[in-house]
Structure 1
Amino acid sequence: MGVAAAPTADIAVTGLGVLSPAGLTPDANWAGLCRGRSLAAYDAELAGLPVDFCCRVPDFDARAELGERWARRTDRFSQFALVAARRAVADAGLDPQTWQGERVGVVLGVGSNSLTSYPAEFAQLHDGRPDRVSPLALPRSVPNMAAGEVAMDLGACGPGFTTASACASGTTALGVARDLLRSGACDVVLAGGSESGCCRMSATCFARLRALSRRCAEPELASRPFDAERDGFVLGEGAAVLVMERYATARARRARVRALLRGYGATSDAHHPIAPLPDGSGAARAIRAALRDAGCAPRDIGQVNAHGTSTRLNDAAEAVALTRVFDQGPPPVTAPKSVIGHALGAAGALEAAFTILSLEHQTIPPTANFGHQDGDHKLDVVSGSPRRTPMSAAISCSFGFGGHNAVLVFTTE
């Protein structure tokens, strides 16, 4: 049974802005994913730490992109969001000078406040120099400022806020944006996520949790989702912003519809601060909820864009969840974190964008560094090279600390 034709309640994605370690445009990201090679590398800013490598966004010049004033007053995660939002709006063919700003919302997922600039400010306080703490320290660093700065830059005067569900934050933002559009509260929502977690404090904290891979001698082999030899994730960063509109509105203005957001499901494990339910039941409930919301059966799904962190517990729980839902065998699985690392609060938004690109190209990009699974995992993990696959629907999964599970279903128009 195929996916039903799009009703007017469906939500169209009409613009993409994507910044990741694979590049600064959707095309560059797609090419990087299809090469199937990890972008992890030694990072001098992490020198001396137990884990001294990560995946950084390359060639990002905030001053060139935003000008001196914006670059000085914003932190890196807000800078990513601003650039991604501008590019998404341009991709959608919208003009902020002419749109009805009070009908435009902004919902961005951010996993935490910025840990990039705060340590320097804390050092001033520790050294007894409170007068040297920057007056911009707070407004530059609090999580909501990514959405706030985007709204100010583009004149988006509708609902604007931040979702924080750890590594599911970006996916949650897209689900909330979908609800704003369905309710009629907005006509356009700029939604996604942004994070700049490649800093000494984040690397230290995650290393202390034993969540990061320790393959410092071979960082390019470190991120290996679903592989039997995985030992932790690799820090990444970036942003993705999607322009979302009601399908009928997009068609009326003859916009290019890149994909439809047909379903969203969210659950909580209510189990442990950082570990998922081993039986995958919380994640499985989120997947089933998204499928019900989309009006799709498991057999309609042509691809799973997995959360796939490369940690032992999370990958095992996700594999179990997928086999629970897809009892005839899960569709082909890809895990982009193998290439770009884990962008934390931005990961779900980035992977939503990648799922859309995959539907557009009718191709599933490979999972880097995948050799063989644990004996009890039975996933069809795409590896080695991209796989051409006719498909009309795909799911994107995100699971975060605190037991937050969020899943999206995208379809072709």
Structure 2
Amino acid sequence: MFRRSHLQISRFYRSISTSPTQPFGPPPPISRRRVVITGLGMVTPLGCGVETTWKKLIQGSCGIRAISEDDLKMDQFDPKTRAYAFEQLTSKVAATVPCGNAFGEFNEVVWLNSKENRSIARFIAYALCSTDEALRDANWFPTEQEDKERTGVSIGSGIGSISDILDAAQMICEKRMRRLSPFFIPRILINMAAGHVSMKYGFKGPNHAAITACATGAHSIGDAARMIQFGDSDVMVAGGTESSIDVLSIAGFCRSRALTTKYNSAPQESSRPFDCGRDGFVIGEGSGVMVLEELEHAQERGAKIYAELRGFGMSGDAYHITQPHIDGRGAILAMSHAIKQSGLHPNQVNYVNAHATSTSLGDMIEANAIKAVFSDHATSGALALSSTKGATGHLLGAAGSVEAIFAVLAINHGIAPLTLNLKQPDPVFHNGFMPLTASKEMPIRASISNSFGFGGTNASLLFASAP
């Protein structure tokens, strides 16, 4: 595929006049190429791996637990300071990745604790782990230089490694700057997740890292798809990663009153999207990575195809640093753009994985936006709707990619996952317009995954069944 296009480009160069006075002609036309998903990888609070995570999600398991002082990553601080910091936190629940060496657990020894991994922070390790699974799933380990040059990486993060920054600041306060690791900067740079993936596998195509808060994962996937569509690459490893369960991140979100505080004694009930009892999101961690591939490239090598990425919609609220406008116009625009780009009718979408984080205002505004976009299709009950954050918490920069994978798996398995902890639905819901409270087997040919971030940035990804 690439060799033919390369020959065509060479002929095009030879046909161009090199006269210094002749006006430039138009750029060569670009025919948009189709993009499919051929590999999936995940590290989530429900477990390590796609199979483990999906099974637990569908069954209604929850990955949220109470946190302890050890979760605050304050190893450089004295016990009294650690105890005081923990006491001051108003939210004491989090969705942490289960670690260990059993099946379905993240193995820290392999991904974090070896001598070679000194330059790798936890958010980078999560990305490497989920990428490994996704590439194995796609069976894409190119050895030819040409194939490596046509394979790129697009993995972002919302925050990166705050705990490393906190440790470094403490060393400065204690006049121990000489003990600062030479790997400090490479550990905190957000683009280093993509960098480490490209270096490990020799991928020399586009190397990209989106940083758009909680829309990061979705933007990373959408950007990667466009790189394939425009011919920059044939294969892209794309997604988001996050590991911000630390004292400073939790304290910061507590101070902005974004986190739940009412359910510290009942952690598994604390994330309740669309429920009247919601009072804030639960901070989570993890990573989701997809292998995106140009359709003909995937077909020629006989790759398994999960779904096609047919639409990518973006918008900005242009309103407030943390709150969406009450009219939900930003969400409406993102979903509408994705649907228009896909060439589908709204009634052909069967499932929406909502961004809904369990915040009072955001959930209600998104619900109204979904109702505005899908109209009778939503209120008739034909459109399945859920937020999977009841099970996973809010994975920040990884949320968009993890939930995009859920949207793809919904198509692949014909199951729409439930919304956990939905006991008393928000009054915005009525009649047929209601989030799922149990996983539902149904034909799903097209699904949308929504992601909205601080700063008013919005993204919607539309997936359809494999061509």
Question: Shorter-chain TM-score: which interval?
Answer: over 0.9
Unpaired runs of 5+ in structure 2?
Answer: 1-30, 73-85, 100-105
Give 2:83's aligned residue.
none
**In structure 2, what residue type is equivalent to 1:398?**
S
Unpaired runs of 5+ in structure 1?
Answer: 1-6
Find the aligned partners of 2:451 and 2:111 in 1 and give their Cα distance. Answer: 30
Find the aligned partners of 1:103 and 1:10 in 2 and give their Cα distance. Answer: 16
Post-superposition offset of 1:143 = 0.7
Give 2:93's aligned residue.
53
Residue 392 (structure 1) aligned to one of 437, 442, 445: 445
Residue 386 (structure 2) aligned to one of 331, 334, 341: 334
Alignment of 1:299-314 (within 5 A): 299-314=347-362
Find the aligned partners of 1:247 and 1:315 in 2 and give their Cα distance. Answer: 36
Q: How many residues align?
A: 406
Return closer, same or farther for 1:275/1:70 CA change in 2, 3 Å cut-off: farther
Post-superposition offset of 1:66 = 6.3
Alignment of 1:276-315 (within 5 A): 276-315=324-363
Find the aligned partners of 1:56 and 1:25 in 2 and give their Cα distance. Answer: 14
Residues 377-402 of structure 1: CA distance to partner in whole angstroms, max 9, x if unpaired?
Answer: 3432011x310111210000000000
Residues 331-360 of structure 1: CA distance to partner in whole angstroms, max 9, x if unpaired?
Answer: 111111110111100000000111111111
Asked if 2 retains the 8 angstrom alpha-carbon contact of 1:109 and 1:171, the reply is no
Give 2:160's aligned residue.
113
Local SS of the residue matching 2:48: coil
Asked if 1 retains the 8 angstrom alpha-carbon contact of 2:42 and 2:130, the reply is yes
Find the aligned partners of 2:258 and 2:112 in 1 and give their Cα distance. Answer: 34
Asked if 1 retains the 8 angstrom alpha-carbon contact of 2:160 and 2:243, the reply is no
Q: Which moved more, 1:401-410 or 1:66-75?
A: 66-75
Residues 8-59 of structure 1: CA distance to partner in whole angstroms, max 9, x if unpaired?
Answer: 8221100001110111111101111112232211121244322122011112
- TM superposition score normalised by structure 1: 0.95
Asked if 2 retains the 8 angstrom alpha-carbon contact of 1:363 and 1:386, the reply is yes
Asked if 1 retains the 8 angstrom alpha-carbon contact of 2:39 and 2:136, the reply is yes
Return closer, same or farther for 1:129/1:41 CA change in 2, 3 Å cut-off: same
Find the aligned partners of 1:252 and 1:391 in 2 and give their Cα distance. Answer: 26
Question: Is 1:382 aligned to 2:436, yes or no?
Answer: yes
Asked if 1 retains the 8 angstrom alpha-carbon contact of 2:160 and 2:242, the reply is no
Asked if 2 retains the 8 angstrom alpha-carbon contact of 1:316 and 1:377, the reply is no
The structure with higher relative contact order (CA 8 Å, sep 6+) is 1
Asked if 1 retains the 8 angstrom alpha-carbon contact of 2:46 and 2:62, the reply is no
Residue 224 (structure 1) aligned to one of 272, 289, 292: 272
**In structure 1, what residue type is equivalent to 2:39?**
G
Post-superposition offset of 1:63 = 2.5
Give 1:146's aligned residue.
193
Q: Report sequence identity in percent.
A: 37
Question: Is 1:404 aligned to 2:457, yes or no?
Answer: yes
Asked if 2 retains the 8 angstrom alpha-carbon contact of 1:23 and 1:29, the reply is yes
Find the aligned partners of 2:305 and 2:115 in 1 and give their Cα distance. Answer: 35
Give 1:34's aligned residue.
58
Give 1:134's aligned residue.
181
Question: Is 1:76 aligned to 2:122, yes or no?
Answer: yes
Post-superposition offset of 1:133 = 1.5
Question: Is 1:354 aligned to 2:406, yes or no?
Answer: yes
Residues 214-248 of structure 1: CA distance to partner in whole angstroms, max 9, x if unpaired?
Answer: 11111111100001111011011100110011111
Give 1:88's aligned residue.
134
**In structure 2, what residue type is equivalent to 1:160?**
N
Asked if 2 retains the 8 angstrom alpha-carbon contact of 1:116 and 1:196, the reply is no
Residues 191-210 of structure 1: CA distance to partner in whole angstroms, max 9, x if unpaired?
Answer: 00000021111111111111
Find the aligned partners of 1:96 and 1:67 in 2 and give their Cα distance. Answer: 28
Give 2:315's aligned residue.
267
Residue 236 (structure 1) aligned to one of 262, 284, 293: 284
Give 2:425's aligned residue.
373
Find the aligned partners of 1:139 and 1:304 in 2 and give their Cα distance. Answer: 37
Asked if 1 retains the 8 angstrom alpha-carbon contact of 2:240 and 2:289, the reply is yes
Alignment of 1:144-293 (within 5 A): 144-214=191-261, 215-293=263-341
Asked if 1 retains the 8 angstrom alpha-carbon contact of 2:279 and 2:360, the reply is yes
- TM superposition score normalised by structure 2: 0.85
Is the radius of gyration larger for structure 1 or structure 2?
2
**In structure 1, what residue type is equivalent to 2:53?**
N
Post-superposition offset of 1:132 = 1.9
Residues 138-163 of structure 1: CA distance to partner in whole angstroms, max 9, x if unpaired?
Answer: 11111111111111111111110210
Asked if 2 retains the 8 angstrom alpha-carbon contact of 1:21 and 1:39, the reply is yes
**In structure 1, what residue type is equivalent to 2:127?**
A
Give 2:67's aligned residue.
43
Asked if 2 retains the 8 angstrom alpha-carbon contact of 1:223 and 1:341, the reply is yes
Give 1:4's aligned residue.
none
Moved >4 Å (runs of 4+): none
Residues 154-188 of structure 1: CA distance to partner in whole angstroms, max 9, x if unpaired?
Answer: 11111102101110000001110011001111011
Return closer, same or farther for 1:245/1:142 CA change in 2, 3 Å cut-off: same
Local SS of the residue matching 2:376: coil
